[in-house]
A and B are shown apart, each in its own frame.
Chain A
Amino acid sequence: MTAIAGPLLSATINGVTYGATLFLVAVGLSLIFGVLRVLNVAHGSFYALGAFTAASAWLLISALGWPPLCIYPALVISALVVGVAVGPVVERGLLRWTFGIEAEAARENAQLLATYAIFLMLEDAQKLIWGGQPYYSGSALRLLGITRINGIPYTNYQLLLILVAVLVLIALRILLRGTKMGKFVLAVAEDPEVSSAMGIPVARIYTVAFTVGAILAALGGALASPTIGVNTGIGSEMIVLSFAVVAIAGLGQIEGAAVAALVIGVGHSIAVFFFPALSSVIPYATMLLVLVFKPYGLFAAAQVRRI
C-alpha cells in the first residue's frame, strides 16, 4: 500500500458506511416524493424519532437485564413502530387536504409549509419526550466485534450497515417491480388520475408509500443511533443532507439515491482525510453543482415544460 492508497481505502470504507445511513433516509424521501409529489420537510424528524426510540430501547434492554444482542431486532422494531405510528397520522390527518389544491405552485407551497409546521411540532415533541440531553448507545456498536482491514479496525456493525442498505435496495426493487402492491405504487407515481380510473385505491397507496418512507427514515435513525450521540438537532441536519442526496439523484429515483448517497458519503470521508475544514461543504457543493448542470438530477429525465 502506498502512502495515499491506505487512507483512501479507509476513507472509502468510512464513506460507504456513512452513505448507507444516508441512503436509507433519502430513499424514503424519494419514495414519498415519487408517489405523493410531496417534498417532506418533516422527513428528518422521522429519522430523529427513530434514533431516539432506538436509544430508549437500548436503555430498556439494559434495565431489564436482557441479553445485549436483543438490541439488533429492537432497532428494527423501533423503526417499524415509529413509521407505523407517525406515518399514517401525518399523511391522513395533516397532509391529505393539500392533495385537493388544484394549482401546482399553490399546492407545492402549501405542502412545503405544512410539512415544515409538522417538522417544528415533531422537533418539540422530541424535546418533551426525551429531554434536552444526548443519548449514547455506543456499546451496541462493539457487540459484534471488529474486523481489521489493512490494519485499521472497523466495527462489524458498520459493515453490517452496508449490508442492510443493500438489502433494502434489493427489497424495494423486488417489492416495486414484482408485487401487485408495488405495481400499484408505480402506477400511481406515474399518473394518479388514470390509476384511480383503473380501480387502484390511490388514497390507500398514498398512505402505504408515505408510511414505508417514514419507516425507512426511522430505520436510518435507529441504525445510526449507536454510531452517533442522539441529540435534538440531528433531524434538521439530516433533512438537508437527504435533500442533497435526492436532488443529486433526481426526485423520485431509487437506485439513483443509492449512487448519490455513496458519492456524498465517500466524497465527505475523503475530504475529512485531505481537507478536513471543507468536509461538511461537500454534500451541499455537490448538490449545487449537479443542480446547475442537471437541474432534474443525474438520473431523472428532464420534464417537458407543461404550459
Chain B
Amino acid sequence: MRAVRSLLWLAVVGGYAVLPWLAPSLTYQLTIVLALGLAALAVSLMLQAGLISFGHALFYAAGAYAAAYLGRLTGAHVVITLLLSSLSAALLALIAGLLIVRYRGIFFAMLNLALSMVAYTLLLKLYNVTGGSDGLVVSATGVAGYAMGPTGLADLLFYLALAAAVLAAWFVRVYLRSPAGWALGAIQDREIRVEYLGVSARRVLLVAYVLSGGLAGLGGAIAGIAVGHVAPDSAYWTTSAGFVVMAVLGGGGDVFGAFAGAALYEMLSVFAAQYLSSSWELLLGVIIFVIVRFAPSGLWGFYDGLWRRMAAGER
C-alpha cells in the first residue's frame, strides 16, 4: 500500500512536469500554482503549531522585491536570484520571529497582520526605493550568463519551481517527522507539557517561523520572476488571507495538501474570472465556509480518509 502511494506521488509530480508540453499556454499558470503552493506550505507549517498567520504576504512580498533588486543589481541568473531572495525572506523572518514567537492565538495573527501592513504601506509610500504603487520590474536571465528567450526562461522557471516545490515538500516532510517537527505539533496540543520536557517552545517556533518565511519568500520570488513585476498589493492582508485559505482548503495534514489547495484556489480564480467575473469571491467564500464547517481537514483529509478506508478493507 505504501509503495502504491509513493508511486502515485511520483506519477503526480511526473504528470505535472509534462503538462507544459501538452499545453504550453498553461506554463505561466502552472508556475504560479507552485509559487502559491510554497507560500501555502509556509502557512500550513505554522498551522501545525495551531498558529494562523494573517501576515505571511510580508515574506512573499519580501522574496519578490528581493528578486527585483537582485535582478537590477547584478543581473543575477535565476537560480542564484531564487536562493538569495528566499534567504532574505528567511532573514526577515528571523528578525520578526524573535518577537513574534512570543505570541499565540489571535495575538500571533494580529502581530503578523500589523507587520505586513507596515510593510505594505512602506512599499506603497517610499516611492524612490520601491516604485510606490507602480511596483518594480523583476528581471532574471538564464543560467550561468547564458541569455534565454522569454519562452525559454518561462520553461526554465517552471522546472526550477517544480524542483523547488518537490525539494521543499520533501524537506518539510522530513522536518515534521523530526523531533523539532513533533515538538511543533505538540505545542498546539499542550505547550506547557512541551516546556516540561525541557524543550524551548519559542526556539521550536522560531525555527519553524524562519523556515516558513524562507518558503514564502521562495514562492514570492518565483511568482515575481514569472509575472516580471511586483507591486505592494502582494503584501496586503488579503494576499495573506489567500495563503491561509489555500492551506485550509488543502488541509494542514500533509505537505501535499498545501499544493493541492493552491491548485484548487488558482483554478477557482481562473475559472471564476472567466465565467463569473464579478462574483468569484462569493463562490470562494461559500467554498471556504463549507470546508471550515463540514470538512475541517480539507482536501488532504478527504484523500487520506479514502486511503485509510481502502487499507482497512484490505485487512
A243 to B280 alpha-carbon distance, docked (Å): 26
**Inter-chain contacts of B111 with A (CB < 8 A):** 288, 291
A116 touching B281 by the CB < 8 A rule? no
A182 to B50 alpha-carbon distance, docked (Å): 34
Q: Given contacts A120-B282, A288-B111, is CB(A280)–CB(B125) below 8 Å? A: yes
Q: Taking CB as reference atom, which chain A residue is nearest B193?
A: A307
Partner of A124, one of B117, B121, B122, B281: B281
Q: Give the contact stretch, choosing among A8-16, A18-26, A60-68, A106-114.
A: A106-114
Instruction: Give the distance to chain A from B157, nearest Cβ to Cβ, in Å.
Output: 30
- A123 an interface residue at 8 Å Cβ cutoff? yes
A244 to B52 alpha-carbon distance, docked (Å): 18
A127 touching B278 by the CB < 8 A rule? yes
Q: Given contacts A105-B105, A280-B124, is CB(A291)–CB(B114) below 8 Å? A: yes
Q: Taking CB as reference atom, which chain B residue is nearest A286?
A: B114
Q: Given contacts A240-B237, A277-B125, A277-B126, is CB(A105)–CB(B188) below 8 Å? A: yes
Q: Given contacts A112-B109, A278-B125, A307-B192, is CB(A118)–CB(B118) below 8 Å? A: no
**Inter-chain contacts of B115 with A (CB < 8 A):** 288
| In the complex, chain A residues 203-248 whose Cβ is within 8 Å of any chain B Cβ | 236, 240, 243-244, 247
B105 touching A113 by the CB < 8 A rule? no
A113 to B292 alpha-carbon distance, docked (Å): 7
A116 touching B241 by the CB < 8 A rule? yes
B281 touching A291 by the CB < 8 A rule? no
| In the complex, chain B residues 40-84 whose Cβ is within 8 Å of any chain A Cβ | 47, 50, 52, 54
A233 to B66 alpha-carbon distance, docked (Å): 28
- A281 an interface residue at 8 Å Cβ cutoff? yes
A187 to B126 alpha-carbon distance, docked (Å): 48
Instruction: Give the distance to chain B from A104, nearest Cβ to Cβ, in Å.
Output: 7
Instruction: Give the distance to chain A from B120, nearest Cβ to Cβ, in Å.
Output: 8
Instruction: Mark each residue of chain A from 113 to 130: 1 if its CB lies under 8 Å from any CB of chain B, else 0.
Output: 110111111011101100
**Inter-chain contacts of A113 with B (CB < 8 A):** 52, 244-245, 248, 288, 292
A281 touching B122 by the CB < 8 A rule? yes
A240 touching B113 by the CB < 8 A rule? yes
**Inter-chain contacts of A116 with B (CB < 8 A):** 241, 244-245, 288
Instruction: Give the distance to chain B from A293, nearest Cβ to Cβ, in Å.
Output: 11
Q: Given contacts A113-B248, A121-B286, A295-B103, is CB(A284)–CB(B121) below 8 Å? A: yes
A124 to B282 alpha-carbon distance, docked (Å): 5
A124 touching B113 by the CB < 8 A rule? no
A117 to B111 alpha-carbon distance, docked (Å): 21
B107 touching A295 by the CB < 8 A rule? yes
A114 to B289 alpha-carbon distance, docked (Å): 6
Q: Taking CB as reference atom, which chain B residue is nearest A233?
A: B238
- A292 an interface residue at 8 Å Cβ cutoff? yes
| In the complex, chain A residues 24-47 whose Cβ is within 8 Å of any chain B Cβ | 39, 41
A292 to B99 alpha-carbon distance, docked (Å): 7
- B110 an interface residue at 8 Å Cβ cutoff? yes
B52 touching A109 by the CB < 8 A rule? yes
- A143 an interface residue at 8 Å Cβ cutoff? no
Q: Determine chain B's interface SS by DSSP, over half rule.
A: helix
| In the complex, chain B residues 80-126 whose Cβ is within 8 Å of any chain A Cβ | 99, 102-107, 109-111, 113-115, 117-118, 121-122, 124-126
- A174 an interface residue at 8 Å Cβ cutoff? no
Q: Given contacts A105-B50, A113-B244, is CB(A247)–CB(B110) below 8 Å? A: yes
**Inter-chain contacts of A278 with B (CB < 8 A):** 125
Partner of B114, one of A109, A128, A287: A287
Instruction: Give the distance to chain A from B19, nearest Cβ to Cβ, in Å.
Output: 29
- A189 an interface residue at 8 Å Cβ cutoff? no
A291 to B192 alpha-carbon distance, docked (Å): 23
- B284 an interface residue at 8 Å Cβ cutoff? yes
Partner of B279, one of A39, A94, A127, A236: A127
Q: Given contacts A116-B241, A291-B111, is CB(A284)–CB(B117) below 8 Å? A: yes
**13 A–B pairs (Cβ distance < 8 Å), ordered by A:** A39-B110, A105-B104, A105-B188, A108-B105, A108-B106, A112-B106, A114-B293, A119-B285, A121-B281, A121-B286, A124-B278, A124-B285, A284-B114
State the A residues within 8 Å of B (CB). Answer: 39, 41, 94, 97, 104-106, 108-110, 112-114, 116-121, 123-125, 127-128, 132, 236, 240, 243-244, 247, 251, 277-278, 280-281, 284-285, 287-288, 291-292, 295, 307
Per CB-CB distance, the 3 closest pairs between chain A and chain B, nearest first, are: A120-B285, A124-B282, A121-B285
Besides A121-B281, A243-B113, 16 new A-B residue pairs in contact (Cβ under 8 A), listed by A number? A97-B293, A105-B105, A108-B52, A109-B52, A113-B244, A113-B245, A113-B292, A114-B293, A121-B286, A121-B289, A123-B281, A123-B285, A247-B110, A277-B127, A281-B125, A288-B118
